[in-house]
Chains A and B, each alone.
Chain A
Amino acid sequence: MTDVSNRNQLAYIAAQASDARVNVEFETEGMTLNLGPQHPATHGTLRVIVKLDGERVLRADPMMGYMHRGYEKLAEVRTYPQVTALVNRIDWLGSFANEVPFILAAEQLMEVEAPPRAQWIRTILFELSRISNVILFLGDMGVQLGAVTPVFFAFRDREFVLNQIEAVTGGRFHPNFDRIGGLKDDIPRGWIEETTGVLGRIRTFCDEMEDLVTGNEIFQARTRGIGVIPPEVGLAYGLSGANIRASGVDWDLRRDGGVGLAHDQVDWKVWTHPDGDSFSRYWVRLQEVREACGIIEQLLGGIPSGPVMAKVPRIIKVPAGEAYVETENPLGVMGYYVVSKGDLVPFRVKIRSASFSNISITPWVLEGTYVPDVVSILASLYFILGDIDR
């Protein structure tokens, strides 16, 4: 195992050395270009080293780590409520969704189950964070391809969702609302009605995106047939979420997993697309936003009454053990492996983040494409740097 990676490393260094001669001169063979880490195209500080032949990519290597904040190390010295507050910031666009698997894992260790009302509200906030996250993707993909207007519509309509999240949790971007055993607080009066109104706006936004983006022939010409990922390759590289569903794999942890969220109480559908190209990844996410609106509407209609917090002690000491919980987060499958030794503080938290596996396919899928397609494919894979680097 080690000498394969050494060989690869040596080959890489040799290739870099041979490219170092080819610097700025006008040569059409093997120009090495750095996309990032500071670049308008990447969703953060990701560096993609592409070796070009004219406009065709010979090889592409993503280089991450520019945003590593040491979450797993930090989690070893923070109490469970503090870790919950920190973990919001991994995928900062759909931030409530980051807390959920961690809290569910801790609840599994403590053998405590959140009351039904808490589970339903948790699911509502989970789907709201999915909407907030994916709306930004829908606008952002437009801007990566050159259309400047969809992203403004995305930010405009996202404000309404963030306002609703703020009305419950107090924080637009970092709710810090999930607690072991339930939620921090209950929902204020009038929230259900307001949120139903907001869902109508989101549906209008989805229709606008269909008119403005997916219906646009230029967009289709830029994304259809680009970056095709066959399902076996996708699964082998660990793609998850909408990326793999766009390749035709019918797999969604909300339906197939068994965690403490209320998705099995409502009627909803998993969207897949057979093509596996950039267009299908966009399309699947668009439909997922609509589906999430439907899920939230059904949930809002029937939140069970009751307490919002189970009986847990004030100072939380999680009994010793290990638990792994993964959920279908907006970016893909996110999982937390929590090892506890019976302290106030977890012994080890391993975070399986979706974007880390999603960009592992980048060298495979970018080979042989054009430079403009590199941007289109990276945009459609949709990663968040905080999720990759943690």
Chain B
Amino acid sequence: MPAMPKLPGMLVGLGVTFRTMVRTLVKGSHTVQYPRVKEAPVPRARGVIALHEENCTSCMLCARECPDWCIYIEGHKYKAPPRRPGGKPRQKNALDRFDIDFALCMYCGICVEVCPFEALFWTPEYEYSEPRIADLLHDKSLLGKWMETVPDFEDYESGSEAKKAQVPR
């Protein structure tokens, strides 16, 4: 056990902290003063889920695949008028209730991924905390309002064969 520490290594360490201090004083810190300054999250960030109601056919795939069972869907069937005169009325699904309970949601994205009709989208919006847990149940209208915050899909890197999807506006 060395009783006499050599100086150089310890002095270099002092230099590191001193340099960081000077840098913070001169150039500013690495932190931002939230909520005065807000950092913008990346477009793919999983903040909240938005629902494009026109595309939803109440197929219940998202509610079934959710690991937490936090999506509540209720719908009813109705007869829509035939597409052309003389045809038979079509049976369609109407969405009565589509709630996502964000107190349970683990932000895994499985619901958005399995939706065959592209009715669910991720948005980077994250400032929706509530004083009451019950208010974290976002209903159909709120989920529709989140659609306004959905960013367009980004282009892919060169060499990619993936096709960029479109966000229905």
Contacts and interface: CB of A to CB of B under 8 A. Distances in A.
Q: Taking the complex as a whole, does A directly touch B, i.e. does some CB pair lie under 8 Å apart?
A: yes
Nearest to A185: B162
Given A86-B67, A149-B17, A176-B109, A168 B9 contact: no
Interface residues of A, number: 45
Interface string A297-335: 000000111111000000000000000000000000000
A218 B44 contact: no
Contacts of B67: 78, 82, 85-86
A188 B10 contact: no
A218 B159 contact: no
A217 B2 contact: yes
Contacts of B154: 188-189
A387 B113 CA distance: 28
Interface residues of B, number: 38
B135 interface: no
A221 B1 contact: yes
Interface string A278-305: 0000000000000000000000000111
Interface stretch (A19-27, A207-215, A233-241): A207-215
Given A174-B107, A188-B154, A212-B17, A305 B10 contact: no
Given A81-B65, A166-B44, A167-B44, A189 B5 contact: no
A84 to B, nearest CB: 8
A189 B44 contact: no
In the A-B complex, list the 7 residue pairs whose CB atoms are closest, starting with the nearest. A305-B159, A85-B108, A217-B5, A215-B9, A188-B154, A82-B67, A186-B162
Interface of B: 1-2, 5-6, 9-10, 12-13, 15-17, 20, 30, 41-46, 65, 67, 106-110, 113-114, 122, 154-162
19 contacts: A78-B67, A85-B109, A149-B17, A168-B44, A170-B42, A170-B45, A171-B46, A185-B162, A188-B43, A189-B156, A191-B157, A208-B16, A211-B13, A212-B17, A217-B2, A217-B5, A217-B6, A221-B2, A306-B161
Given A168-B44, A216-B10, 18 more contacts: A79-B65, A81-B113, A81-B114, A166-B44, A170-B42, A170-B44, A170-B109, A174-B106, A184-B113, A186-B156, A187-B156, A187-B160, A188-B155, A189-B155, A212-B13, A304-B159, A305-B159, A307-B162
